[in-house]
Structure 1
Amino acid sequence: MRTHFCGLIDEALTGQSVTLCGWTDVARNLGGVCFIDLRDHHGIVQVLVEPEQVEVFKVAASLGYEDVLQVEGVVRARHSVNDKLKSGQVEVVATKITILNKAEPLPFHAHENAGEETRLKYRYLDLRRPEMQRMMRTRTRLVAALRQWLDARDFQDIETPILTKATPEGARDFLVPARMHPGEFYALPQSPQLFKQILMVAGFDRYYQIARCFRDEALRADRQLEFTQLDMEFAFVAERDVQDTTEDMIRSVFREVMQVELAPEFPRLTWVEAMRRFGSDKPDLRNPLELVDVAELVKDSEFKVFTDWASNPEGRIAALRIPGGALLSRKQIDDLGAHAAKYGAKGLAYIKLGGNGEVTSPIAKFFAEAAFAALIKATGLQNGDLVFFGAGKYNTVSDFMGALRLKVGKDMKLVEDRWAPLWVTDFPMFEYDDEAQRYVALHHPFTAPAVDDIDDLRANARTAVSRGYDMVLNGNEIGGGSIRIHRPDMQSAVFELLGIGAEEAEAKFGFLLDALKYGAPPHGGIAFGIDRIAALMAGTESIRDVIAFPKTTTAQCLMTGAPSPIPDAQLAEVHVSVRPKEK
């Protein structure tokens, strides 16, 4: 039906006859002449319809937005060049226009800033927009570059099951009733974790998969119920083997897709250092602000909030200096306090040092002169600056001060325009869940501890360090992995520490424990979030913009109406009945 793509028409085709197909982006009837901007997935070309072509002109004059056309014509140089278009040096003089399909009036136009709900309901129209086409094409190039790099290095692309065993640890599983096994269920995989480990036991050495994963969890801008990850696993490796290989891969992919040169060696921070300096295990290094611990300097003050937490072994008192922050109004300071409260802050203390050195602070009166001077020195406070203080449990303070750091950096335009990758390593092995009264795995239950001695691990579980690592880019975790447990006795000990008894471990993970008995090699791996990397490359804050058909934050597909009720007869076939909602 066509000889060329609209967006690829250029000067090399001048004088040639072409046949194009696409959508009417804009149609302008100027009386003596008609102009049509014809669009396909490669871009736009201007079509000129002259009044001498009487029948063609009639068709052109009747066109509306998004009508589907076939245009035959001759390429010639434009009188007025449009440098914004790749085809802007030329135009196509139409000799025939065929309307292939007439579009009804649109719920929104491609050039309008429609709300996301409308865009998702009419996703097929949203995806026609050049900006969405650009972002989806970026994703395509990303995946192609990853596959090319991996295939050239002897990684095997192996598919793992989508219908698998429910092993809930962390997020909830999506369950699928097994029609041929009444009362039993499959689960959709949260990741191919166990299968890729078993592939290492099977001797495949280097595995990868562009894997679809499913987690029944709350959604936000960087999470979806179903998502895509690059899954990788290596046999006979230590941490640096995995990190150096995948770091080289990410550098290569950014070079090919974005023409961007990332750092020749990514910086490395331990989890402890990342939390201490930035209040986050995925710090954005483009933001120059850092936290400073000041518990020792305030423990003898008369401010009870500080003294209580300074003497608490689980407490933290952190300061954040804002250069030029003395210009912030009281309302702006209160707004920042409200933002911190969303992340657990009970309040923010502050010291403001005016341009003339005048101190404004609700806590200054609680300090002796020498102690106050030492505090100002430790925080680096200078004339014209402001410093915020947060006190509370260590992780809570890290969370809200880290969130405050990000907001202030963004609001005050302190974030540098660059790519800032890094590794965060040496994560805690466990977190203690006060509500459940047990340990939970910070990464997952199959991550190896830094110690090989089981008795040592049991005795020091609260402070145990794992062999886990994350790759972070511009404040986003884009990849997470670890060296895995390859000894069955160590895996059983970790299950025990997580409150998973021998009987439960056998029921849920018996196949893995069996596999580890038969010569499992040391192995490790990592999984990269394709959606997150694509969003960063495309310059959007939401992964929904690089997923063709995403769910809303309420876990719905507005276009298809999913999820939806299922007829009783169909439910009966899979031996399922629906309980009425509880009031």
Structure 2
Amino acid sequence: ARDFVVPSRMNPNQFYALPQSPQTLKQLLMVAGYDRYFQIVRCFRDEDLRADRQPEFTQIDCEMAFVEQEDILEVFERWAKHMFRTVMDVEFTEPLRRMPWIEAMEKYGSDKPDLRFGMEFADLTDLAQGHGFSVFDDAEYVTGFAAPGCAAYTRKQIDALTEFVKRPQVGAKGLVWIRMEEGGVKSSVDKFYTPEEVRAMAERCGAKAGDMVFILCGKKFKALTQLCALRLEVAQQLGLRDPKKFAPLWVVDFPMFEWDDETQRFYAMHHPFTSPKPEDIQYLESDPGRVRANAYDFVCNGTEIGGGSIRIHDAKLQATIFKCLGFTPEKAQEQFGFLMNAFKFGAPPHGGLAFGFDRLCSLFGGSESIRDYIAFPKNNAGRDVMLDAPSQIDPAQLDELFLELRPVKENE
């Protein structure tokens, strides 16, 4: 995401940046000696819009000094339970589940898993490969899940799901299925496997008589994400995504960095001020992809409601993180010198969390989109249809701001 920039009339050719969130500012408050910060804050993001995103949204934002992850999760779990009890008359008496990121991805194909229903994924790679079916043999990962009671699906229904996973938004090349019947098993790959081999794959997915198993393959995390889309689609068809049922959890132990093939470099999965797990600091320079972040998300019904992390409070560690992200010391000092210099005076361990106010409202209201809970929302193209914005401005205003427009190229 990029910060919005606003040109200054009083300072020619210079710009203000509206921060995506007050991350560095609240950290400075911790350094200054405040023990806690709480604010309901309006945030802006200039990024590619996805299904349930808006350029502007509201956060319930908190930062606390001298805390560890456990402190923050305990405080906000109590807060979340209070909100469910007060607003929805739903009582959660047991501690909420805490799921490592890798488990969420391997079992549900998402870092915000929907736990209102089962259909957990199983790794079928070892069972599927080595039988002459090149689609599986050439894949990095083979994974599947059992859809309860779907053995009665017709060929037309299976073809519709196959077309679903082939959509550009999902991106799979095809779909393999196994039908578990009282009299035996049938599959779309029977000519490559014996009935016993097919049954072994189905049973690893937890399938029973009357169930249907759906299988995808490919690059590991791509295949998992594609299967997640199918899982949610099947659950929707089966009526398992009840908006009046709630299944909250914490997702923890996120990767610190994510690799981008296009730019051939690591990016921070959360933000560059997130602290790594202390036991993983040793891998920062030798194996950055192995490092886990001291980060956590509050998830409910397949939606991220809030998230945060323990922050870096040591200037030396912060410099190492910037180095891992490809910043030169000069560039890091230019952009974030105010924070790194503040750390040199002594900063307390600190961390925080922000809940999405609009998302919380849409969850309680049973809506699929935060757009229903924002006055004058933007459409899917990021346009304000009421004001017809963004729009062109008068040339005189451009002159006042010392700006000059250039033609837009076809591929931009």
Whole-angstrom distance in 2 between the partners of 1:447 and 1:377: 41
Decide which of 163, 171, 181 is 1:338's aligned counterpart: 163
| Pairing 1:402–2:228 present | yes
1:205 to 17, 25, 35: 35
Aligned mates of 1:325, 1:370 — CA distance in 2:
21
Give the letter aligned to residue 336 of structure 1: L
RMSD over equivalenced CA pairs, Å: 1.6
Amino acid at match of 1:179: R
CA apart distance, 1:453: 7.0
Q: Distance between the aligned counterparts of 2:107 and 2:279, measured in 1?
A: 30
Alpha-carbon shift at residue 275 of structure 1 (Å)? 0.9
Deviations 1:464-484 (A, max 9, x none): 111110000111100011111
8 Å Cα contact 1:288/1:414 also seen in 2: no
C-alpha spacing 1:557/1:516, structure 2 compared with 1 (3 Å): same
**SS in structure 2 opposite 1:364?**
coil
Instruction: Name which of 308, 319, 329 aligns with 1:481.
Output: 308
Higher relative contact order (CA 8 A, sep 6+): 2
Which whole-Å CA distance do the structure 1 matches of 2:286 and 2:408 have between them?
46
Distance 1:257 1:378 in 2: 40
C-alpha separation in 1, matches of 2:246 and 2:366: 12
- Partner in structure 2 of residue 214 of structure 1: 44
Larger Rg: 1
C-alpha separation in 1, matches of 2:283 and 2:373? 46
**Structure 1 contact 301–368 (Cα < 8 Å) conserved:** no
Structure 2 runs not aligned, ≥5 long: none
What are the within-5 Å matches in structure 2 for residues 115-130 of structure 1? Answer: none
Following the alignment from structure 1 to structure 2, what is the Cα–Cα distance between the partners of residues 412 and 263? 28
How many residue pairs get aligned? The number is: 407
Tell me how far 1:378 sits from its aligned partner.
1.7
After TM superposition, the structure 1 stretch with the greater mean CA deviation from structure 2, 186-195 or 255-264, is 255-264
Asked if 1:292 is matched to 2:94, the reply is no
- State the 1:282 CA deviation: 0.4
Deviation for aligned residue 1:353: 2.6
Alignment correspondent of 2:186: 360
1:431 match: secondary structure: strand
Q: What is the match of residue 149 of structure 1?
A: none
1:320 is the counterpart of 2:145: yes
Deviations along 1:385-423, one digit per CA (max 9) or x if unpaired, are 211111111110110111111111111123355211100
Q: Is the counterpart of residue 265 in structure 1 residue 90 in structure 2?
A: no
TM-score (norm 1): 0.68
CA contact (8 A) 2:46 2:55 kept: yes
C-alpha offsets along residues 52-80 of structure 1, whole Å, 9 cap, x if unaligned?
Answer: xxxxxxxxxxxxxxxxxxxxxxxxxxxxx
Match of residue 279 from structure 1: 109
1:274 and 1:281 in contact (8 A); partners too = yes
2:214 to 388, 411, 429: 388
Q: Within 2, Cα distance between the matches of 1:324 and 1:318?
A: 20
Aligned pairs (5 A) from 1:125-140 = none
**Inter-partner Cα distance in structure 1 for 2:202 and 2:45:** 47
Structure 1, unmatched stretches of 5+, are 1-170, 310-314
Match of 1:372 in 2: 198
Aligned partner of 2:22 among 192, 196, 208: 192
Equivalent position of 1:238 in the other structure: 68
**Equivalent residues of 1:236, 1:522 under 8 A apart:** yes
User: Residue 454 of structure 1: CA displacement?
Assistant: 4.8
TM-score by length of 2: 0.95
Amino acid at match of 2:177: Y
Amino acid at match of 1:401: L
CA contact (8 A) 1:423 1:469 kept: yes
Q: Specify the alignment match of 1:422 in structure 2.
A: 249
TM-superposed CA distance for 1:373, in Å, is: 3.6
Secondary structure of residue in 2 paired with 1:327:
coil
In the other structure, the counterpart of 1:440 is: 267
The 2-side partners of 1:521 and 1:476 are apart by: 32
Tell me if structure 1 keeps the 8 A contact 2:120–2:205.
no
CA distance in 2, matches of 1:299, 1:442: 32
Which amino acid in the other structure matches residue 557 of structure 1? D
Q: Note the C-alpha offset of 1:263.
A: 4.4
CA-CA distance at 1:354 after TM superposition: 3.3
Go from structure 1 to structure 2 and tell me whether the alpha carbon gap of 1:373 and 1:562 turns closer, same or farther (over 3 Å shift): closer
SS in 2 for 1:380: coil
Equivalence map 1:137-176=2 (5 Å): 171-176=1-6
2:379 paired residue among 543, 548, 552: 552
SS class of match (1:459): coil
Q: What's the CA shift for 1:291? A: 0.5
Cα shift readout 1:236-269 (whole Å, capped 9, x = no counterpart): 1111100110111111122222332234421110
The DSSP-based 3-state class of the residue aligned with 2:16 is: strand
Task: Kindly provide the amino acid, as one letter, of the partner of residue 559 in structure 1.
Answer: M
Identity percentage of aligned residues:
49
Contact kept in structure 2, 1:218 and 1:553, CA below 8 Å: no
Q: Given the alignment of the two structures, is residue 349 of structure 1 paired with residue 176 of structure 2, yes or no?
A: yes
Q: Give the Cα separation in 2 of the matches to 1:346 and 1:371.
A: 23
